[in-house]
Amino acid sequence: MSAAKPQPRRVHSGNRRDDAARLAVLHAADDLLVEHGFGALTVEAIARRAGVAKQTIYRWWPSKVEILLDTLIEDSEKRLPVPAGSPTADSIRGYVRGFARFVTRDPAGKVLLALLAEAQHDPGTAKSLHERFLGPRRVRERELLATGTEAGEIAPKLGPDATIDALLGPVVYCALTGASVPRGLVDTLCEDLLRPRAD
Amino acid sequence: MSAAKPQPRRVHSGNRRDDAARLAVLHAADDLLVEHGFGALTVEAIARRAGVAKQTIYRWWPSKVEILLDTLIEDSEKRLPVPAGSPTADSIRGYVRGFARFVTRDPAGKVLLALLAEAQHDPGTAKSLHERFLGPRRVRERELLATGTEAGEIAPKLGPDATIDALLGPVVYCALTGASVPRGLVDTLCEDLLRPRAD
Amino acid sequence: MSAAKPQPRRVHSGNRRDDAARLAVLHAADDLLVEHGFGALTVEAIARRAGVAKQTIYRWWPSKVEILLDTLIEDSEKRLPVPAGSPTADSIRGYVRGFARFVTRDPAGKVLLALLAEAQHDPGTAKSLHERFLGPRRVRERELLATGTEAGEIAPKLGPDATIDALLGPVVYCALTGASVPRGLVDTLCEDLLRPRAD
Amino acid sequence: MSAAKPQPRRVHSGNRRDDAARLAVLHAADDLLVEHGFGALTVEAIARRAGVAKQTIYRWWPSKVEILLDTLIEDSEKRLPVPAGSPTADSIRGYVRGFARFVTRDPAGKVLLALLAEAQHDPGTAKSLHERFLGPRRVRERELLATGTEAGEIAPKLGPDATIDALLGPVVYCALTGASVPRGLVDTLCEDLLRPRAD
DNA sequence: TCATAATCGAGACGGTACGTCGGGTCTTCGG
DNA sequence: CCGAAGACCCGACGTACCGTCTCGATTATGA
């Protein structure tokens, strides 16, 4: 590091999309959200922080919401995968517990909350969030329940969507209100909703 | 010269706060939110629509969020009161059903969703929402459960906050994702959570 | 002074115009102009400083300019009277010297400069300034020259208005540009313009 | 679809300053001053009239005063240059006459009067006006007198600054009071002040 | 080999809304 | 009726971002 070169200025890759710029944007967005909240998440601030021109952002993302969706999708697939294969009652309960942890403690969970919030303010966000995150994930969650039911691991008394809403809803609501998820809540719901009465 | 009086100009009340202006602001905010969404809810737009000077808004409300809170508090007390007196299992279930209707179909419910959303973006909103709406209402909801439990009407298996989160959370989550509350969801939850297994 | 009475609140006189309020306004205007410049001279600031309601100002003065004109007229008649009676060449020169002092050093002179300036920005000010100050004073100055000429004290080579403009103009210009009046300027002009060449 | 191109929208020049915007601002300011006076000369009005964003004005000018100074400097150098080279008594008198015309009849002269006025209200304006207009011009005027004196064309009886103030002051004063410069005033002053007594 | 084409940083541009300030009008209330 | 107080509508202030644009430089590609 020489003092004579204060800005080593990341060199870009010519003709092709610059992946370094892409990552810089994603991380800048993530960091700004976590550090200063959604209010500080302006395109200008992201560009500043990422050391990127605004135009570079607008070239690749239609809005800051899509940036957040990109990070959310990547992170959630790493840190909160929907269990595949043949689930057990335990693994399903584990997923709900993981969801609670994700949404209340993981920085990436803040991104989901922020997008869920922004979706209330802007229909375009709602559409994107459903198409790119909520919808696909819900499909896999339904498969999870279906496979578990077929295998006799669980016997939900409600329909699949109702069951999922009943399990995840309280967790999300707690996160949105800044509360921690009360101890026992997830387990009780899993027992009540996934086991038949005559268990 | 008579026709040259183009400004009938609402007359205001001198030294005291002008209640007509107050109501005009509240209604304008409500209308704008319902008609064009939170994104269009700027102080300038409210002022324009209400026929009021911006300064009059800033004089009485620190932010547009407080305007919405004012309307939410007024409306929710009219349209979704927490049952007082001695509750029955039925009246408690009725409250949860009413909550579902409020939050998915009542225009005033949109205000709650918008504020819950904005609270994710701005800590000040979160604070106000808790202090002025969520907190006081939660107090009354806890009393509802406590009275019902003492009277032997219900026997919740979870703690009061967990019970309330488990009942209202799914409803709020459905509303936030734009889904309607699945038929049977509320009833099933009430049965499971408010009655002991061996009922 | 008792701590229990923080505002001794000047008592007003009921039915008649309150002269204390009138003076408080005039002094407040004067003080604000001298201390913080014309930019700080708002009606609100005058009212604050004078401990007077805005309406009291608007009731008696059509604008802050008229307030300044009131003080200017009062002060200039005290501190820079146009010599009356039978003038000598010396007394005329003394008047011009006095004018220079007034306009460059006397705080009341700042009021004249401010009004002359404001007259460039606002035709109403120009009108008032002429009607209430410049015009009447010019009348007396012309009389001064006329009487002096008749008495043989002076023999102006230019017409009366031209002479006055030529004598006072440089002084005003110096004041406006923040310069002091160069030594010898006034005397030389008086000699050249009031005495015939072959004197 | 072809006629659907309603925005011909002046195209701007990318990374560099848009000269069209610069000129639009200068002309808008000039026009507003002449048409509606300094009172109507708000940044918002200039922006509106010039078809320019407010930010574009604030980007390049610290205040509306500097806009006026820009136009004044440009215009005065075109329409009222200080004679260069070797002056004659006639060319010097011609300059003073030109100054009188400029300040009483040329729209650009109104800009000078407005700035001189605003300088009374605001020290920053005074500073700028001196540094960018009055000072440099005064330097050239002193050179004019010095050169003329050396050449024997004139023999001022007063110092250079006093001479200039005595020549221009009356003209400016007449302009400020809305009067026309009395016939003979300029010529008489030039004769008296630029020629030695024993002429 | 070298023109072409796409990307990048930079940042000017026309806009909209922000929250504040002062202007001038009005009404209430106490003396 | 006067004066203090202060709410009201209005419009300008100077700032922050929006999303679009043009620039000049950089670099991989293919004629």
pLDDT in tens, A116-134: 999 999 999 999 999 999 9
- Output the pLDDT for position B11: 64
Interface residue of A176, A181, A199 to substitute, partner B, most B CBs within 10 Å: A176
Q: Which residue spans within chain D are E strands per DSSP?
A: none
Does residue B2 carry a pLDDT above 80? no
- Output the pLDDT for position C11: 58
- Output the pLDDT for position A197: 45
C-alpha to C-alpha distances, B118 to A39, A64, B104, B111, nearest whole angstrom = 10, 17, 18, 10
pLDDT cut 90: percent of chain D above it: 88
Question: CB C120 to CB D38 under 8 A?
Answer: yes
Q: Which of D162, D156, D160 is nearest to D190 (CA)?
A: D156
Angle between helices B107-121 and A107-121 (to 10 degrees): 140
Residue of D nearest to C133 (CA): D177
Contact D102, D109 (CB under 8 A): yes
CA atoms of C188 and D8, how far apart (whole Å): 64
- Output the pLDDT for position A103: 98
- Output the pLDDT for position A196: 55
- Output the pLDDT for position A22: 95
List protein-proximal bases of chain F (any atom < 7 A from a CB). 1-24, 26-29
CA atoms of C111 and A18, how far apart (whole Å): 66
Does residue B55 carry a pLDDT above 70? yes
CA atoms of B153 and B95, how far apart (whole Å): 15
Q: Which nucleotide is nearest to C53 (CA to C1')?
A: F4
- For residues C65-95, one letter each, b for 16 or more C-beta atoms within 10 angstroms of the residue's C-beta and e for the rest, the string is bebbbbbbeebbeeebebbeeebebeebbeb
For the CA atoms of C49, C52, C55, C60, what is the dihedral angle to 10 degrees? -90
- Which of D123, D178, D184 shows the shortest C-beta gap to C162? D184
Using a CB–CB cut-off of 8 Å, the residues of B that contact A are 37-39, 113-114, 116-123, 126, 130, 134, 157-159, 161-162, 165-166, 168-174, 176-179, 181-185, 188-189, 192-193
Beta-carbon contacts of residue B91 (< 8 Å; ≥ 6 apart): B83
Chain A residues whose CB is inside 8 A of the B120 CB are: 38, 113-114, 116-117, 176
- For residues B92-115, one letter each, b for 16 or more C-beta atoms within 10 angstroms of the residue's C-beta and e for the rest, the string is bbebbebbbebbbebebbbbbbbb
User: Which pLDDT tens digit goes with each residue over A80-92?
Assistant: 999 998 999 999 9
At A198, the pLDDT band (50, 70, 90 cuts) reads very low
User: Which pLDDT tens digit goes with each residue over B9-21?
Assistant: 456 667 889 999 9
CA distance A9 to chain B (A): 33
pLDDT cut 70: percent of chain B above it: 91
Residue ranges in chain C whose pLDDT is less than 70: 1-16, 196-199
Using a CB–CB cut-off of 8 Å, the residues of C that contact D are 37-39, 113-114, 116-123, 126, 130, 134, 157-159, 161-162, 165-166, 168-174, 176-179, 181-182, 184-185, 188-189, 192-193
- Output the pLDDT for position D141: 98
- Output the pLDDT for position C116: 97
For D16 and E14, how far is CA from C1' in angstroms?
A: 16
Report the 10 Å Cβ neighbour count for A59: 10
CA-angle at D59, arms to D58 and D60, nearest 5°: 95
- Output the pLDDT for position D85: 87
- For residues A1-12, one letter each, b for 16 or more C-beta atoms within 10 angstroms of the residue's C-beta and e for the rest, the string is eeeeeeeeeeee
User: Which pLDDT tens digit goes with each residue over D74-83?
Assistant: 999 999 999 9
List protein-proximal bases of chain E (any atom < 7 A from a CB). 5-31
Q: C41 by DSSP, 3-state: which?
A: coil
At D3, the pLDDT band (50, 70, 90 cuts) reads very low
In the structure encoding, which two tokens stand for residue B56, read together? 């009059």
Interface residue of A72, A129, A173, A197 to substitute, partner B, most B CBs within 10 Å: A173
CA distance A6 to chain B (A): 35
Beta-carbon contacts of residue C56 (< 8 Å; ≥ 6 apart): C18, C21, C25, C47
CA distance C83 to chain D (A): 22
- Output the pLDDT for position D23: 97
- C142 secondary structure, DSSP code: H
Mean pLDDT across A49-59: 96
- Output the pLDDT for position B196: 54
Residue of B nearest to A123 (CA): B37
Q: What is the mean pLDDT of chain A?
A: 92
- A38 secondary structure, DSSP code: G
Angle between helices D89-104 and D185-194 (to 10 degrees): 140
In the structure encoding, which two tokens stand for residue D74, read together? 């440009």
Does residue D6 carry a pLDDT above 80? no
Chain B residues whose CB is inside 8 A of the A178 CB are: 126, 130
Does residue D126 carry a pLDDT above 60? yes
For B164 and E17, how far is CA from C1' in angstroms?
A: 39
- C8 secondary structure, DSSP code: -
Burial class (CB in 10 A: 0-12, 13-18, 19+), D181: buried
CA atoms of B58 and B61, how far apart (whole Å): 5
List phi, psi (to 5°) of B196: -70, 150
CA atoms of D49 and D29, how far apart (whole Å): 8
Contact B172, A155 (CB under 8 A): no
For B48 and F10, how far is CA from C1' in angstroms?
A: 12
CA atoms of D135 and C177, how far apart (whole Å): 10
* Domains assigned to chain B: 19-61 (1.10.10.60), 66-194 (1.10.357.10)
